[in-house]
Structure 1
Amino acid sequence: MQNKDACTSIMVGKKASLDGANYIARNEDRVKAIEPKRFLVKPAVKGRHETHVSPYNKVTVALPEEGMRYTSTPTLDQTAGPNEEDGINEANVAASFTESVYANDRVLAYDPYVKNGLAEDSLCTLVLPYIHSAREGVEYTGKLIAELGSAEGNGMQFADADDIWYMEVVTGHQWVAVRIPDDCYAVTPNQVAIEDIDFDDPDNYMWADGIQEFVEEHQLNPDHDRWDFRHIFGTSTQKDRHYNTPRTWFAQRYLSPNASLGQRPEDSEMPFIRKAEFKIANEDIQYVLKSHFNETPYDPMGDAPERKTYRAISLSRTAQSHILQVRDLNKYKTSIHWIELGVPAFNPYVPFFANANDTDESYRNVPEKMNLESAFWLNEALAEVVESHYQEFMEKDEDYKKELNEWAHRKIAQVDKEAASLEGQALTDYLTGQNHEIASHYNKRTKALFFELLTEGCELSKMSFKMDPNL
């Protein structure tokens, strides 16, 4: 299994969201505090005759001759595979790969992982350019798993303007997927999350061929009267209750304040899917992904004795965070790939129109060492400065993020209006130019705050000393 850490995923259906878009979102968390990421547009291909060989585990796949253009956030260091992670393709389908999930030893005994099977490093590369709907994303991935097996447990999100599907591959070949209801949201934190499967409802559930027979043959179902995927394949351990379930607790506490009353951070049976109690805005998704148990005793930025009890959602080792806003193309001309680089708690989400030719140089070119012309390094630097004097700098940082969100809403509305009369290549060229303007605005504002706080920090040194004027 790949040496990666963990993530937190959120899905919001179109009737649960404030603007009527489908949303899938995730913090990509890694073992190292610094793992430079790029934001790219991968071009469409035709007439290709190539084979993908993963540098990570040597899984080998003949690539289709044709593939669509798509956005992605690959890792700078490609020695462990491309790790493109997430994006939106030109068919207006979004995907996020992956939420690491862990199966129990009983099921793995009968269907272990396949060493040279599909792993997170290759999934985006091998799936996103070739799917035309969220449902097809599940079907396409399922066929690859049947052919190649899986090297690890992974949860995957797929979205188009109509549907959101969440798929969990938990053993070498066993998986299920569920359609997220339009008026609901779902949160998952590195645990097998999907619960009861209705095998009589293929419109809303999908599964690996033979999974029922597999469970029955090996006597794996602990329940008398239900087929709960989480109970059969998942885990419920001390690690889950300190590393995973508290993240679900906090997200549902915010998004379902009434329904979640009585839930505790270590509850093992919190529902995966909940109906929204209010229309969820982009900023609400941001809040959850940025959160660190804010306003609770478990906040690691606080001083309560419990502050280190649970693993928070936003971490210093988040490589990048994304919110994929899939909009109806009959009403709007493109969906939006929101990117956050640095630490989510301290840095803004930047909106980029997915129908673009390329990305800004500050996102495309990432040097190995810190350079403030790089968006990745600029945001990492800002996060380090804000955290170093959190109490003193928190308010200015919050004002900066709020200001940029306000600007983003105005900018998107302006671009939508201008784009309404454009089609084809002219539209793509226009949106590409607007993406460059957006990157420039965010970089300029981030540099201004960074240098302002860096200067103020000089006055906060523990080495300062005020001389008594009478001496």
Structure 2
Amino acid sequence: MQNKDACTSIMVGKKASLDGVNYIARNEDRVKAIEPKQFLVKSAVKGRHETYVSPYNKVTIALPEEGMRYTSTPTLDQTAGPNEEDGINEANVAASFTESVYANDRVLAYDPYVKNGLAEDSLCTLVLPYIHSAREGVEYTGKLIAELGSAEGNGMQFADADDIWYMEVVTGHQWVAVRISDDCYAVTPNQVAIEDIDFDDPDNYMWADGIQEFVEEHQLNPDHDRWDFRHIFGTSTQKDRHYNTPRTWFAQRYLSPNASLGQRPEDSEMPFIRKAEFKIANEDIQYVLKSHFNETPYDPMGDAPERKTYRAISLSRTAQSHILQVRNLNKYKTSIHWIELGVPAFNPYVPFFANADDTDESYRNVPEKMNLESAFWLNEALAEVVESHYQEFMEKDEDYQKELNEWARRKIAQVDKEAASLEGQALIDYLTEQNHEIASHYNERTKALFFELLTEGCELSKMSFKMDPNL
């Protein structure tokens, strides 16, 4: 079964981040240029007796009787499954599903994908409501893989206030996971990323039962003195070096400017996990997810001959991008689910408090065709206008994004202060109300810029003609 996504994921440990909390983030890139997305809060359930059947590949499983509330970003058209993709549940656990990864033909020969196994469309729905820690996210998913098999290769991020785990399921049943060290970050771009596995360190590594025996039985390890998951299960092809590795190169070039010296876009052995050379801010994560080889000859928005050589991180076919900021509940009251709709390079990330029981109508109600009352369509429209006159409009667009980031930081600080004295449903109600205010502010500011640029664009038409006033 073929993956439909082609994403870029970033993880930042709490000692590597500027505000001392864990982050997981991803651009959800799709085959189609337009794939409308919603932002929803899914309610907690009790006493349920239902069987889940995926519309995509008919994977079938009985659902647990109880499940927690969680945020999610499902696809509007669910004929290919819910594709909820990412969210934060009421236990303050965040997850992002998935980073499409690809195994080599050697390993797939002995453990092929399971046609009716777990796929990206179902993972968030079947995992996030039922896990209480990042580690449990890996364990729970591993049990599902053992029971159902996997229909495709997928990388998954799990985070709570203490830990970040990254899990790669690469064949029908084989997988590993690694804990991202607190003082490190990691970037992965659609290829098997996890490297050496220490089977004597179960606190920082997890793996499928029998994976060592599987590799030994089928003589799959190409190395003499190491057990490198990427080498054993991954690929290193021309496609990787044009589609995947350049994204890691650019992200590490920005986040590790000293350690990455000498790396080239087509290097196949760039490390997955790196120590942070400076404290990484939310805005730095945004910059990477918004990037398109900025200030290099490979920028597709430039005019250099190399501009189409490599696949950039930000794409016109990004369905949505998210940054999950997992804040400690005792200190901050709630984590934040940052949502970007449209093209990351041109649109802002909007902060929503995850401990809420509703989302704004402009994010819930998404019509099939363009409507500027819908946040998804409004942001898609703005991105189209900015890109159509990139040189003329990009400065105003960047100023608009900077202005909203400044506003967001002030708003979050204000809400944290007010929320400090609230608990239970009163807290949830307050945060839900604040989310509506945040959505309204961003929507109005986006409309204002959109109409301003549309008006200016009328003067930029190639069909314009300046009349000599003396005629």
- Between the two proteins, the alignment pairs up a number of residues equal to 471
How far apart, CA to CA, are the structure 1 residues paired with 2:330 and 2:180? 22
2:326–2:336 Cα contact (<8 Å) kept: yes
On the 8 A contact 1:9/1:26 being kept in 2, the answer is yes
Aligned counterparts of 1:304 and 1:409: Cα–Cα separation in 2: 37
Looking at structure 2, the residues matched to 267 and 17 of structure 1 have their Cα atoms a distance apart, in angstroms, of: 27
Shift of 1:3: 5.3
Deviation of the 1:468 alpha carbon: 2.8
CA distance in 1, matches of 2:82, 2:161: 27
Residue-by-residue CA offset, 1:312-351 (whole Å, 9 max, x unaligned): 0000000000000000111110000000000000000000
Residue 359 of structure 1 corresponds to 359
Partner Cα separation in structure 1 for residue 78 and residue 165 of structure 2: 29
Deviations 1:273-320 (A, max 9, x none): 000000000000000000000000000000000000000000000000
In 1, Cα distance between equivalents of 2:149 and 2:172: 5
Q: Does structure 1 retain, via aligned residues, the 8 Å contact 2:341–2:347? A: yes
In structure 2, C-alpha distance between the alignment counterparts of 1:469 and 1:340, rounded to whole Å = 47
State the SS of the aligned residue for 2:332.
coil
Deviations 1:53-107 (A, max 9, x none): 0000000010000000000000000000000000000000000000000000000
Contact 1:159 / 1:326 at 8 angstroms: preserved in 2?
yes
Structure 2 Cα separation of the partners of residues 450 and 121 of structure 1: 33
**1: CA distance, partners of 2:469 / 2:316:** 43
1:4 maps to which residue? 4
Looking at structure 1, the residues matched to 411 and 166 of structure 2 have their Cα atoms a distance apart, in angstroms, of 31
Q: Distance in 1 between matches of 2:420 and 2:199?
A: 43
Deviations along 1:182-207, one digit per CA (max 9) or x if unpaired, are 00000000000000000000000000
8 Å contact 2:343–2:383 — kept in the other structure? Answer: yes
Query: Distance in 2 between the 1:119 and 1:267 partners?
Result: 30
Residues in 2 aligned to 1:332 and 1:469: alpha-carbon distance in whole angstroms: 63
Distance 1:466 1:29 in 2: 42
- 3-state SS of the aligned residue for 2:321? strand
Alignment match, 1:328 = 328
- In 1: Cα distance, 2:69 partner to 2:259 partner: 41
1:466, CA displacement in angstroms? 1.1
Shift, 1:2, TM fit: 4.2
Compute the displacement of 1:470 (Å).
4.4
SS in 2 for 1:78: coil
Shift of 1:5: 3.3
Q: Does 1:222 align with 2:222?
A: yes
Encode CA deviations 1:371-398: one digit per residue, 9 max, x unaligned. 0000000000000000000000000000
For residue 448 of structure 1, report the CA deviation from its aligned partner.
0.1
Gaps in structure 1 of 5+ consecutive residues: none
Residue 373 of structure 2: aligned partner: 373
Shift of 1:467: 2.1
**Once the 2 structures are TM-superposed, how far is the Cα of residue 142 of structure 1 from its aligned partner?**
0.1
State whether residues 134 and 163 of structure 2, in contact with CA within 8 Å, keep that contact through their aligned partners in structure 1.
yes
Deviations 1:250-291 (A, max 9, x none): 000000000000000000000000000000000000000000
Task: Work out whether residues 5 and 99 of structure 2, in 8 Å CA contact, stay in contact via their aligned partners in 1.
Answer: no
Is 2:168–2:177's contact at 8 Å kept on the other side of the alignment? yes
Taking structure 1 as reference, are residues 30 and 196 closer, same or farther at Cα in structure 2, changes over 3 Å only?
A: same
Contact 2:298 2:304 in 1 (8 A): yes
Identity of aligned residues (%): 97
- Paired with 2:328 and 2:48, the residues of 1 have a C-alpha distance of 31
CA distance in 2 between counterparts of 1:121 and 1:427 reads 32
Name the counterpart of 1:89.
89
- Alpha-carbon deviation of 1:399? 0.3
Q: Aligned-pair RMSD on alpha carbons? A: 0.6
The answer to whether residue 263 in structure 2 is matched with residue 246 in structure 1 is no
| SS at structure 2 position matched to 1:80 | coil
Cα separation, 2, equivalents of 1:469 and 1:330: 69
Once residues 388 and 5 of structure 1 are traced to their aligned partners in structure 2, the CA distance between those partners, rounded to angstroms, is 26
**How far does the alpha carbon of each residue in 1:7-35 deviate from its partner, in whole angstroms, 9 at most, with x for none?**
00000000000001100000000000000
Give SS of 1:25's match.
strand
Q: Deviations over 1:99-120 (max 9, x none)?
A: 0000000000000000000000
Q: How does 1:424-463 map to 2 (within 5 A)?
A: 424-463=424-463
Give the match's secondary structure for 2:26: strand
Aligned to 2:46: 46
Give ranges in structure 2 of 5+ residues lacking alignment.
none
In structure 2, distance between residues paired with 1:357 and 1:28: 24
> Is 2:3–2:153's contact at 8 Å kept on the other side of the alignment?
no
C-alpha distance in structure 2 between counterparts of 1:11 and 1:264, whole Å: 22
What does 1:6-155 align with in structure 2 at a 5 Å threshold? Answer: 6-155=6-155
- Distance in 2 (CA, whole Å) between partners of 1:203 and 1:339 is 32
2:270 aligned partner: 270
> For 1:166-193, what per-residue CA distance to the aligned partner results, in whole angstroms no more than 9, with x for missing partners?
0000000000000000000000000000
Normalised by the length of structure 2, the TM-score is 1.00
Distance of 1:268 and 1:3 partners within structure 2: 22
Measure the CA separation in 2 of the matches of 1:61 and 1:354: 28
CA contact (8 A) 1:86 1:96 kept: yes
Distance 1:469 1:438 in 2: 48
Secondary structure of the corresponding residue to residue 329 of structure 2? coil
Q: 1: CA distance between counterparts of 2:372 and 2:172?
A: 43
| Matching of residue 169 in structure 1 with residue 169 in structure 2 | yes
Query: Residues 214-250 of structure 1: CA distance to partner in whole angstroms, max 9, x if unpaired?
Result: 0000000000000000000000000000000000000
Asked if the contact 1:83–1:122 (Cα under 8 Å) also holds between the matched residues in 2, the reply is yes
Report how far residue 469 of structure 1 moved. 3.6
Equivalent pair of 1:39/1:72 in contact (CA under 8 Å): yes
For residues 327 and 76 of structure 1, the distance between their equivalents in structure 2, rounded to whole angstroms, comes to 29
Q: Do the aligned residues in 2 keep the contact of 1:39 with 1:364 (CA within 8 Å)?
A: yes
CA distance in 1, matches of 2:381, 2:467: 33
TM-score (norm 1): 1.00
Cα distance in structure 2, aligned partners of 1:415 and 1:220:
54
- DSSP 3-state at the match of 1:330: helix
State the SS of the aligned residue for 1:79: coil
Q: Distance in 2 between matches of 1:131 and 1:42?
A: 15
Give the conservation status (yes or no) of the 8 Å contact 1:3–1:31. no
C-alpha contact 2:70 2:129 (8 A) present in aligned 1: yes
